[in-house]
Amino acid sequence: MRRRSRLPSLAAALLAVAAAASAEVVDVGDNGFAVRDSATVAADADRAWAALVDVGKWWDPAHTYSGEAANLSLDPKPQGCWCERVAGKPAVVHMTVLFAQPGKLLRLSGGLGPLQAMAVTGTMTWTLTPAGNGTAVELSYVVGGYNRGGFKDLAPGVDAVLRAQFDRYVRFANTGRP
């Protein structure tokens, strides 16, 4: 018989707030788009950061080249790599770290998924801010450049995928499980 663990009441309250997390396409234009997600996690900034950079534990394996999230790694230092191993060998650079301030801010550059093959630049920023006994986390992804047909039809799909990843991160930061 499987026992269910009970979260402390504060954590349960923060989980309820996280369940109502905000996600949106902020802007879409002919040359790019911006999306944003935000929630509060029941972890201090150091634990929220540790969860964030442990991307192989919370990223959805369906959105990897190898099919295994455990093959993802993130080296949170300037020019550090968010990389993926395929068939046991380094194969994919998903993003490069531009700015890393543990417990506060992580900024990366790169095009995720199909954006990697386009003439675009993407900047992803994770901001962590103390919020009571937890941490407010905001994910912003701004993409600009050229895409045949523009970005109007692309932005909602990118937003949906990132929202799903963000939700997995929030669950992982709160519970240790994505």
Could you state, in order of their start, the residue ranges of all structural domains in the chain?
24-175
Report pLDDT for 1. Answer: 42
- Which pLDDT score is estimated for 23? 80
Pick the CATH number of 24-175 from 3.40.50.720, 1.10.10.10, 3.40.50.620, 3.30.530.20: 3.30.530.20
pLDDT of residue 52: 98
Task: Compute the 3-state secondary structure of the chain and give helix, strand, coil in percent, each to the nearest 5.
Answer: 30, 40, 30
CA neighbours closer than 13 Å in the CB half-sphere of residue 86: 9
The pLDDT value given to residue 22: 76
Q: What was the pLDDT predicted at 50? A: 98
Angle between helices 45-53 and 155-175 (to 10 degrees): 120
67 near 61, Cβ under 8 Å? yes
Kindly list the averaged pLDDT for each block of 10 residues, start to end, along the chain of length 178: 39 41 89 98 98 98 97 98 95 97 98 94 98 97 95 96 98 97
Kindly report the pTM of this predicted structure: 0.88
Q: What is the phi/psi pair of residue 22, to 5°?
A: -95, 135
